[in-house]
Structure 1
Amino acid sequence: MEVNKTLHSLKAQEKEARRQLIIDAAISLFSKRPISDVSVRDIAKQAEISPALIYRHFQDRDALFVEAFVKKSEDIIKGFERMMDENGHMNAEEVGVEFVSYLLDNDLFFRMMTYFMLDTNINEKSLHNFNENIRRLLGVFDEVFKDKKTESDIRLHSHAFFAALNGVLITYRQYPGRTENQVREHMIQLAKIIGKQFQT
């Protein structure tokens, strides 16, 4: 009985390792090209496995994209949850710095997200799953604005804040004539300024 449990555990670990290998290969490709330019065959080649093996884990390319996106965005959400647990609250400045820092530390994910914003060519089911995850992420941003006495829609504030932070990353990620540390510090300062503006 114990041997069977061990074998089952090893198979589960192997399956999860294979899924992660596929997701990592997908992120690598989705960070370099629009979704419509990436095929399951391309991902299989990147992962050095057969396309058939990918289909054992994922329904299609679009489902794989969403799975990869959800996995990485969960990390951002967990970061916000830790912040909430430690501080008992979240303000726009703290959220802005956390969000920008995460995307600076996970550049492939940021590039993948940017390509998606420019090319949303995925099937309806996957798009629905993607939007559900984005709503969860924006729900964290909503928490920042719940205490504000504003007549405007909270989610509209979250959209504006999300767009402003992504604009910082797109505009200054390749700042000419500055070191990587200088670029990072510059973007963190901009995130703080944006956060303060949204808090007023």
Structure 2
Amino acid sequence: MMDNKSKFLKLKEGEREARREILIEATLELFGKKPFDEIGVRDIAAAVGVSPASMYRYFPSREDLFVEAFIKDLREMEKWLGNLLESNEELTLENFSESLIRYLIDREPTFQMMSYLMIKGSMTPDLLRKYNGVQRAMLNKFEKVLQRNGIACADRIHAHAFYASLNGILMTFRNYPGRTREEIEKHVNRLSALLCKMLRAASVED
């Protein structure tokens, strides 16, 4: 199989989008090897065999490349959520939460990307459009599992609360010092179970 460097160099000069995609793939591979805040333009350029300066022909900045990579990874996560829902028509809120928690604990780069995008605060209009599209698709999955569990989502407030609260729990405890992975996962699952009970109670009150 051809690596990213070989594929990038083989493409013709005019194949801009294909080169952009290879740079995104190379960035995602690097995310799996080291924290994204330690990855520089030189690292990505070396992975595909080009000079650092030539990177800016395809992306205005390192941050823009990172966001494109993050969005691509979030799309994979959204597809995974869709498969989870399709494979189990009777999925409970607790099962859904535990599955998502395990997915993100197993994928540190994905979790880092989500956290980064949530606090970044600014994007170009094109990136914001792509990001909003992924977020809407993700919220659709949260809304669907809530509705299956008898919780109405007329204005999406419950889906927003569910999504934001699970992310907040994970951001608080995902890398808590002095705790093993098993201890962290157990505690996070206890908190998510409490969240599920609160969502059901709030739905009854509404």
Q: TM-score, normalised by structure 1?
A: 0.72
- Give 1:141's aligned amino acid: F
Q: Deviations over 1:84-127 (max 9, x none)?
A: 23212433222211222121111122122212222222212211
1:185 aligns to 2:186 (yes or no): yes
- Give 2:84's aligned amino acid: M
Greater length-normalized contact order (CA 8 Å, ≥ 6 residues apart): 1
Please give the residue correspondences for 1:70-85 in structure 2 after superposition, counting only pairs within 5 Å. Answer: 70-85=71-86
Tell me the equivalent position of 1:44: 41
Provide the rounded CA distance (Å) in 2 between the counterparts of 1:163 and 1:186.
Answer: 18
Tell me the equivalent position of 2:89: 88
After superposition, the Cα gap between the structure-2 partners of 1:169 and 1:103, relative to the gap in structure 1 and judged at 3 Å, is same
Tell me the equivalent position of 1:20: 25
Answer 1 or 2: which has greater helix percent: 1
- Give 2:25's aligned amino acid: Q
CA contact (8 A) 2:73 2:110 kept: yes
Tell me the equivalent position of 2:131: 130
Give 3-state SS (helix, strand or coil) of 1:177's partner. coil
The Cα RMSD (Å) is 3.3
Provide the rounded CA distance (Å) in 1 between the counterparts of 2:178 and 2:61.
Answer: 42
State the Cα distance separating 1:177 from its structure 2 match: 3.2
Q: How many residues align?
A: 182
Provide the rounded CA distance (Å) in 1 between the counterparts of 2:30 and 2:40.
Answer: 6
- Give 2:91's aligned amino acid: M
1:162 aligns to 2:163 (yes or no): yes
CA contact (8 A) 1:92 1:199 kept: no
Q: Which sections of structure 2, spanning at least 5 residues, go unmatched? A: 1-6, 12-17, 202-206
